[in-house]
Chain A
Amino acid sequence: MKRSFFRNNSILLGLVFLLAVVSLISLQLGSSFISFERMINILVGQGTKSDILIVTKLRLPRIILAINTGIALAVSGLLLQIVIKNPLASPSLFGVVDGAALGAIIFLVLFSSETGNLVFPVEWQPVAAFLGSLLAIFVVFWLTILDGRGLSRLILYGICFSALATALISLLMIIGPIHRASQAFLWLTGSVHAANWQKVVISSSALIITAPIMMLLSSSMKQLMLDEESAQATGLTVKTSLVLMVILATFLTAIAVSFAGAVGFVGLLAPHIARFFTPSHGLILLFITALTGALLVLGADFLGRIAFQPLQIPAGAITAFIGAPYFLFMLRFKNVFHRR
């Protein structure tokens, strides 16, 4: 028991350290390199105007938004995998992501004037996306309740909603002007390039509000490894915790995709990677999953920014391309994930 305690803590510390390093590097690197010295100057208020602008207005919010997005998606994926009891469950299967996409694209297409300008400022796009994801949550939950055969049916109605949303999206993209369609596609890929402090504040506060609930739910998460009757018999209020977990998961996904678009595969990958690091099924797993997710999105965004300069690859593209090899990996090491 002692050994696992140290092991868990060193992994946690290692991940935090890694996250700090990657953050720092991605703060420095980019179209212009900012040295340590200049960074310290900015910190003590001595930096040049352009340095301050680049760091505080462009890179810092982008980094924090990437971290927030990663945490939200990863935790959401973990919760959903536990609720559905299937290691392949991920936030994108519950209609929330496609709902957000639909909202964002309706905004882009409907509020474009003839000349191709937006009638509303683009800052309103996340609001539209959030409304879209709320609609998805509402419809999918309503159908699941109507169905009354348990939460695992969420996934089926999520698929239904996604199909309809995707159809509407393709219809709208064909009706709308072509440059809007390509803008919409960019959104669908998922990227944190349009980060600003407003988004950072909103997404951070959402995470801070939900964090205590997540931590309180962590021991229930562990207990849900058992079948529902046994879990109930050991004292867990199964229904309440399942419902709480799903609501939390969809809310987190909605927050993440509203600001960063449909960054795929983080919710699927992060919990699996985290399980590789720790035998824990509770609080430690939750923390490691969150950190892994943050690292994934931050790393993907950093790579996309640096690797193909001056071209910027959206973070979602990178995470998707990590997803593919992982898929093969799962094929190869199937026994790790095989559950009876």
Chain B
Amino acid sequence: MPHLTVLEGEDRFYFKLAFCSFFLIILMVASLHFGAEIYTPYEVWNAFWELETEASIIIQTLRVPRMVLAPVTGMALALSGLLLQTVSGNPLASPAFLGVNSGAAFFVLLAFSFFGFTSLWFLSLIAFAGALTAISLVFLLAFSFGASFQQSTLLLAGITLSSFLSSAITILLATNETTLEALLFWLSGSFANRDMSGLIIVVPVLFFSIIVTLIMKSSLDSLLMDDESAKALGLSIFKLRLFFIFLSALLASLAVVLAGPVAFIGLVAPHIAKNYAGLSHLRNIPFCLLFGAHLTLMADIATRILLSPSEAPLSAVLAFIGVPFLVFLLLSKKRGVVG
């Protein structure tokens, strides 16, 4: 049982919070400056007040949406990952490992290649449905192996479902080259040319989720214990789990709506937050959100610079950050990290 650091370091908490928020703002501003074309702060400033210059078009129509979309997506994924890790007691749980991405991608492909849907807005809805379906299936499968979660079973169920869906995706793509061309980029996740209108739904849901999780922080803390002790404390574990799983799936699916399938944020951000701010949810939720936003923004900037002038796939960039982190996490001998 990991210990909870609830009350220690009150001052440093706010200092850290201020520092991380400030860093977020810096990254957001930086995201306006960097890309295929690099602008000076002066040019960026002017671009806001000018019309019809090249810089103003690039910044106002291309970079500003990304500056907003990236952190929102990152926050949603990070919170989703944190909830999953707490609820399943599995430090490796993350939306991507539990089939969210492949579910979304599979549904989008089906809609695109068989029914010819092309509206991005509608595809987003389909993606949402796919993500939710996949993650429910995974949990259903894991539940069916026993009343409580066995850690590796959840993970294996997720990966097996993902691998099934990916082979289905591969088949769909292999048989249809035009679909492949149109969707290959969507499938690797990106913030380029995304619709801001999704934010109308995502931001309120994210806001609501943050409030709810912060209110229910002590329930979340108790879920870190083993089932029987938590039950003995008077929690209805099953309902709580179901609720948080749903919330988490909702957040992850909405992130898919904004950016397509994006992996690793939901895994990495919560871990950094837990190391930085401890296991108490009241403390690590704010940092989890901030780190999620940081990571996504940085990765987004990297996608623009890496293969400039063309864009690198976001999920690939994140994998290059995320995999070494994951390996490091697994290798770390600290008890209770990944037992």
Contacts and interface: CB of A to CB of B under 8 A. Distances in A.
A88 to B, nearest CB: 4
Contacts of A163: 263-264, 319, 322-323, 326
A181 interface: yes
A320 B188 contact: no
A147 B330 contact: yes
Interface stretch (A20-28, A118-126, A184-192, A211-219): A184-192
A331 interface: yes
Interface residues of A, number: 53
Contact of B174 (A185, A323, A337): A185
Given A164-B323, A181-B184, A171 B312 contact: yes
B173 interface: yes
B160 A156 contact: no
Nearest to A146: B331
Contact of A155 (B152, B163, B312): B152
B326 A160 contact: yes
B123 to A, nearest CB: 19
Provide the main secondary structure of the chain A interface. helix
A321 B171 CA distance: 10
Nearest to B338: A156
B144 A320 contact: no
Contact of B170 (A185, A321, A338): A185
Contacts of B276: none
A338 B188 contact: no
Given A157-B327, A178-B180, A167 B160 contact: no
B188 A156 contact: no
Interface in B123-157: 140-141, 144-146, 152-153, 155-157
Interface residues of B, number: 47
B46 interface: no
A316 interface: yes
A146 B180 CA distance: 40
A179 interface: yes
Contacts of B152: 84, 86, 152, 155
B35 interface: no
Which of A152, A167, A175, A178 counts the most B-chain CB atoms under 10 A from its CB?
A167
A244 interface: no
B181 A314 contact: no
Contacts of A166: 319
B161 interface: yes
Interface in A126-169: 143, 146-147, 152-153, 155-157, 159-160, 163-164, 166-168
6 contacts: A88-B156, A152-B152, A164-B323, A174-B188, A182-B173, A182-B180
Interface of A: 84, 86, 88-90, 92-93, 143, 146-147, 152-153, 155-157, 159-160, 163-164, 166-168, 170-171, 173-175, 178-179, 181-182, 185-186, 188-189, 262, 264-265, 268, 313-314, 316-317, 320-321, 323-324, 327, 330-331, 334, 337-338
Q: Would you list the 5 A-B pairs with minimal beta carbon distance, nearest first?
A: A167-B319, A88-B156, A185-B174, A320-B167, A167-B316
Given A163-B326, A317-B171, A323-B167, 19 more contacts: A86-B153, A86-B156, A93-B156, A93-B160, A147-B330, A147-B331, A163-B264, A170-B313, A171-B313, A174-B312, A179-B177, A185-B173, A264-B167, A316-B171, A320-B164, A320-B171, A330-B141, A330-B144, A338-B146
